[in-house]
Homo-oligomer: A and B are copies of this chain.
Amino acid sequence: MPIVELHVLEGYNSLEKQRLSEVLTDAVRFVIPAAPELVTVMIHDVPTDNYYRGRIQRSPAPALPDPAQIVKDYLAAMEARKLETARAMLGDGFAMTFPGTAPMRTLEELIEWSKPRYKFVTKTYDGFDAMQGVGDAAIVYCRGMLQGEYHDGSTFEGIRFVDRFEITGGRITRQDVWNDMAEVRANA
């Protein structure tokens, strides 16, 4: 039965409202086990003329981009070695941690670290899980399988991985990577 009414300042587009409806529906279902088709979301666009806080009209903040899409775009850029594109997606204080590494702060460090490990690696995705954190960062997990080629020309595939990203204000500020590469190599 749950009915969610969201009052927001006018200005969000159809796609942004679709995203709002999805996260609000999921939020309700996180606590109340209602079938999805019994969760109704109604969005009330409030024109700025019709909204006042403290006697003062307010303006809507532009919607945040979809953090899962940001992660997809970033990973695609990295895989295509478009470093400029990827670098432009990183926010202040960016840090990434890979298996066995200390936090790295630049893409150059990552490339340096991976160089002796494999010739290239690509990702196949099993799923993305995205949510808002309690603070300002959105959190995105992506998981799936790695495949690629070692320097000796041998190849690997089906290696499980999971990445955790924090996205703040539309920029990636943190990446944590786990995978089974060492496990697989140890068993090889």
Number of interface residues of A (CB under 8 A): 88
Partner of A129, one of B4, B57, B131: B131
Instruction: Bits for A37-51, please: 1 = Cβ < 8 Å to B, else 0.
Output: 111111111110111
Q: Given A31-B16, A64-B30, check contact A4 B1 (CB 8 Å).
A: no
Q: Which of A14-55 contact B (CB under 8 A)?
A: 14, 16-47, 49-55
A180 within 8 A of B: yes
Closest to A43 in B: B50
Residues of B within 8 Å of A16, CB to CB, are 31
Q: In whole angstroms, what is the CA distance A79 to B187 when docked?
A: 26
A80 within 8 A of B: no
Partner of A54, one of B6, B25, B183, B185: B25
Cβ contacts A to B, 7 pairs, < 8 Å? A6-B28, A22-B52, A37-B53, A43-B51, A45-B47, A131-B131, A141-B164
- 3 A-B pairs with the lowest CB-CB distances in the bound complex, closest first: A178-B178, A21-B52, A36-B54
Binding site for B on A (CB under 8 A): 1-9, 12, 14, 16-47, 49-55, 57-58, 60-64, 67, 97, 99-100, 129-134, 136, 138-139, 141, 143, 160-162, 164, 169, 176, 178-187
